[in-house]
């Protein structure tokens, strides 16, 4: 597998959309990367999940954490491939039941790798890092499918977290234009 295979899988699944979109960061963009579309394309999502697992294995971790909602299926696949425990971080605590922000067995502790679909400014990742650290996890790395290149890497560095991505928005757009 390679970056090229990941890019081809993302494009084949129709994940790169053109139009006008409000991103979770609040920014407006003429390009949206909808990684969730991958989940409807088993061959393509398998390529991406296996590449994520390879990267996750190279940095090492005790626990895989997904971010609600886009990161949960990806983190689940990576956890299964690597036979690691899975937890996930909600955007906000549930208002019923246990009212948790972190779902799964948060008492596990240890070195936690955050997995998400797309990074823009890093705000969702930063919120997850802080929640996980407050719960006793160590977080040194975050892994995303696509880095939009809009500040997430620098923002996470400020927290001592390395951002790794399978590809970038720039690479996706270049591949689309070359096709």
Domain residue extents for the chain: 3-178
Measured CA distances, 125 to 46, 59, 90, 178 (Å): 23, 17, 11, 31
Contact 22, 61 (CB under 8 A): no
Question: How would residue 1 be classed by pLDDT, with cut points 50, 70 and 90?
Answer: low
Measured CA distances, 91 to 5, 9, 32, 72, 123 (Å): 31, 28, 20, 12, 11
Q: What is the pTM of this model?
A: 0.95
The topology (CATH level 3) of 3-178 is Rossmann fold (3.40.50)
Taking residues 148-162, what's their average pLDDT? 97
Taking residues 88-92, what's their average pLDDT? 91
The per-residue pLDDT for 94 is 67
């Amino acid at each position: 597998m390679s970056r090229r295979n990941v890019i081809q899988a993302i494009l084949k699944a129709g994940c790169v959309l053109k139009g006008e979109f409000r991103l979770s960061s609040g920014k407006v963009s003429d390009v949206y990367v909808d990684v969730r579309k991958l989940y409807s394309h088993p061959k393509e999502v398998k390529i991406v999940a296996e590449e994520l697992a390879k990267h996750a294995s190279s940095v090492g971790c005790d626990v895989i954490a997904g971010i609600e909602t886009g990161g949960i299926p990806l983190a689940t696949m990576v956890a299964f491939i690597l036979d690691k425990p899975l937890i996930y971080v909600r955007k906000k605590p549930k208002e019923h039941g246990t009212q948790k922000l972190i779902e799964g067995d948060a008492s596990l502790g240890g070195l936690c790798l955050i997995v998400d679909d797309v990074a823009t400014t890093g705000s969702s990742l930063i919120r997850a890092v802080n929640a996980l650290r407050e719960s006793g996890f160590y977080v040194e790395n975050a892994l995303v499918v696509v880095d939009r290149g809009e500040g997430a890497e620098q923002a996470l560095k400020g927290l001592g977290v390395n951002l790794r991505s399978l590809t970038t928005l720039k690479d996706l757009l270049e591949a689309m234009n070359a096709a």
